[in-house]
């Protein structure tokens, strides 16, 4: 099996698994000793490449972590207020505070599915309103030993942090990804040569060759199969080429005349 569809992200995962986990258990093979250091060097190139594994977006990890905090607080606030508003015998004062939280902090859960920029803008708009509800919110305990004010403050603070991260991203020059296509090609080519060399080395023992091949390339094969299947689905989903309609002819249809046999003498 030759690799064709692996992306650079696939190679990042697959080479890390191959070099760090699988190759050390087969160090007695000449092909492993020969190609192991070179594959490790390709893996190091991928790791060092700007944006190779993160889509080239600066602060992607930080934005993801901050968004998780933001959405965690937002969901907790919404569900706690929902539970208390549904509970019987809730005082009118508490009900009024919870209703204000819904209106001023998180009106609906769908807000947590919006873009980072939308979430940051909402936090900036709502932060001034939190101070007006501080006393009432501090009187509402939360299951973690804090108060609803702490949760609301954490929610809006995370939204403001999203804004700061987006600003920092804007100040960073886009990563130069011009050489990543070449790097991918070199990695795929080396993997295919390594696999061929291994098969050649174990040519006299078909069962061992199959076992070693499976042991070393199982993860990479799974990644390749997934990419190939995704490509096949995409290709199948393409609309068929429309058939050009036949242009009607204005010429009259030919008239067929019955054949007349020649007279016989």
Pick left, alpha or beta for residue 89 (phi over 0 → left; psi -120 to 50 → alpha; otherwise beta).
left
At 208-258, the pLDDT tens digits run 999 999 999 999 999 999 988 877 655 555 555 555 555 555 555 555 554
At 184-210, the pLDDT tens digits run 899 999 999 999 999 999 999 999 999
Averaged over 154-170, what is the pLDDT? 92
Q: What is the pLDDT of residue 234?
A: 52
pTM: 0.50
What percent of the chain is predicted at pLDDT more than 70?
80
At 23-62, the pLDDT tens digits run 999 999 999 999 999 999 999 988 877 554 444 566 777 8
Q: What is the pLDDT of residue 178?
A: 54
**What's the pLDDT band for 263 if we cut at 50, 70, 90?**
very low
Q: What is the largest CA-CA distance in the chain?
A: 127
């Amino acid at each position: 099996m030759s690799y064709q569809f692996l992306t650079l992200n696939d190679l990042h995962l697959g080479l890390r698994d191959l070099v760090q986990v699988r190759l050390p258990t087969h160090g007695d093979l000449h092909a492993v000793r020969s190609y192991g250091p070179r594959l490790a060097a390709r893996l190091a190139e991928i790791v060092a490449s700007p944006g190779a594994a993160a889509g080239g977006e600066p602060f992607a990890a930080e934005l993801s972590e901050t968004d998780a905090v933001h959405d965690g607080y937002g969901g907790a606030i919404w569900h706690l207020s929902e539970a208390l508003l549904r509970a019987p015998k809730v005082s009118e004062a508490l009900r009024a505070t919870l209703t204000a939280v819904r209106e001023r902090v998180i009106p609906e859960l769908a807000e947590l599915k919006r873009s980072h920029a939308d979430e940051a803008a909402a936090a900036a708009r709502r932060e001034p309103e939190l101070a007006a509800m501080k006393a009432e919110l501090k009187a509402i305990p939360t299951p973690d030993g804090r108060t609803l004010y702490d949760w609301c403050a954490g929610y809006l603070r995370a939204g403001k942090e999203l804004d700061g991260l987006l600003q920092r991203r804007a100040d960073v020059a886009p990563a130069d990804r011009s050489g990543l296509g070449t790097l991918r090609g070199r990695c795929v080519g080396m993997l295919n040569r390594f696999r061929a060399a291994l098969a050649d080395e174990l040519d006299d023992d078909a069962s061992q060759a199959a076992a070693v091949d499976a042991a070393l390339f199982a993860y990479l094969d799974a990644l390749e199969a997934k990419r190939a299947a995704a490509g096949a689905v995409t290709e199948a989903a393409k609309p068929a080429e429309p058939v050009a309609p036949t242009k009607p002819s204005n010429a009259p249809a030919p008239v067929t005349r019955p054949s007349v046999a020649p007279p016989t003498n």
